[in-house]
């Protein structure tokens, strides 16, 4: 039994890394970071003349708010970054697409298709998502029964092209089924011609037997008359 696969295209997915500027931004806003200077001409509290006091109202609170905002930008939901959430959405969509693709093969192929197998990619949330898959299919002809082979190959063609977007492998299986169906049709035509020839030979033999019997009867009649 020859078995080949009806499969969907693979979906490579690399791990996401934060851009360098984002990492730098998070580092600058972390604990112990120094607030930026206001520019030339700014003086510290120690450089002011005696009697003058530096206005430091609100400075610690503002730094705290800045640090909290940076942290919120880095981790939005469930400890995932914005980039990781985008990748997670892609993986979820691909998982649905792959499972629907293989289910379409199985639904159209019926008894000629096997169970689906999948390849998985682990998402940033730690869960596994199907990103590729295939369904095994029996593409062998039915020996001595071209009519049954033709019916089988028609089903396999439909199964291979059942998904909304057949993969290159799907199209190859459909082409293989078409070739097997064409060969079975040729075999069926040969059988029909052989049967017709045999039937014609039988008719000729019967006619010869009838003619011989008729001749023998006439000879018998002549002998009786004499």
Q: What is the mean pLDDT of residues 164-182?
A: 95
The length of the chain in residues reads 226
Closest CA relative to residue 119, chosen from 110, 106, 128: 128
Q: Cα separation of 76 and 42, whole Å?
A: 36
pLDDT the model gives residue 59:
47
Looking at 67-71, 77-81, 108-112, 219-223, which range is the least confident one? Answer: 67-71
Residue 224 pLDDT grade (very low, low, confident, very high; cuts 50, 70, 90) = low
Q: What is the mean pLDDT of residues 182-197?
A: 90
Q: What is the mean pLDDT of residues 180-203?
A: 85
pLDDT tens-digit map of 6-25: 544 333 333 333 333 333 33
pLDDT the model gives residue 96:
98
Residue 107 pLDDT grade (very low, low, confident, very high; cuts 50, 70, 90) = very high
Say which residue, 56 or 155, is predicted with more confidence: 155
Q: Kindly write down the DSSP assignment for every residue of 71-133, as one continuous string.
A: HHHH--BTTB-HHHHHHHHHHHHHHHHHHHHHHHHHHHHGGGEEEEEEEEEE-TTS-EEEEEE
**To 10 degrees, the CA torsion angle through 221, 224, 225, 226?**
120
pLDDT tens-digit map of 33-90: 444 444 444 433 344 444 444 444 444 454 455 445 445 555 555 689 999 999 999 9
Percent of the chain exceeding pLDDT 90 equals: 49
Six-digit token string for 154: 């028609």
Tell me the CB-side half-sphere exposure of residue 181, using CA atoms within 13 A.
Answer: 15
């Amino acid at each position: 039994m020859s078995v080949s696969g009806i499969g969907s295209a693979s979906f490579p997915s690399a791990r996401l890394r934060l851009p360098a500027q984002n990492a730098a931004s998070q580092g600058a806003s972390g604990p112990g970071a120094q607030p930026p200077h206001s520019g030339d001409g700014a003086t510290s509290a120690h450089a002011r003349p005696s009697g003058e006091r530096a206005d430091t109202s609100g400075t610690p609170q503002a730094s705290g708010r800045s640090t909290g905002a940076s942290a919120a930008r880095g981790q939005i939901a469930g400890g995932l970054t914005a980039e990781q959430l985008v990748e997670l959405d892609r993986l979820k969509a691909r998982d649905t697409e792959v499972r629907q693709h293989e289910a379409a093969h199985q639904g159209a192929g019926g008894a000629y298709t096997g169970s689906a197998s999948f390849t998985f990619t682990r998402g940033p949330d730690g869960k596994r998502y199907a990103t590729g898959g295939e369904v095994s299919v029996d593409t062998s002809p039915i020996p001595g029964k071209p009519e049954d082979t033709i019916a089988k190959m028609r089903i396999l063609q439909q199964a291979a092209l059942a998904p909304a977007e057949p993969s290159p492998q799907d199209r190859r299986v459909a082409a293989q089924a078409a070739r097997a169906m064409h060969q079975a049709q040729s075999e069926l035509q040969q059988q029909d011609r052989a049967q017709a020839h045999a039937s014609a030979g039988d008719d000729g033999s019967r006619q010869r037997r009838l003619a011989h019997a008729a001749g023998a009867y006439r000879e018998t009649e002549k002998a009786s008359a004499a």
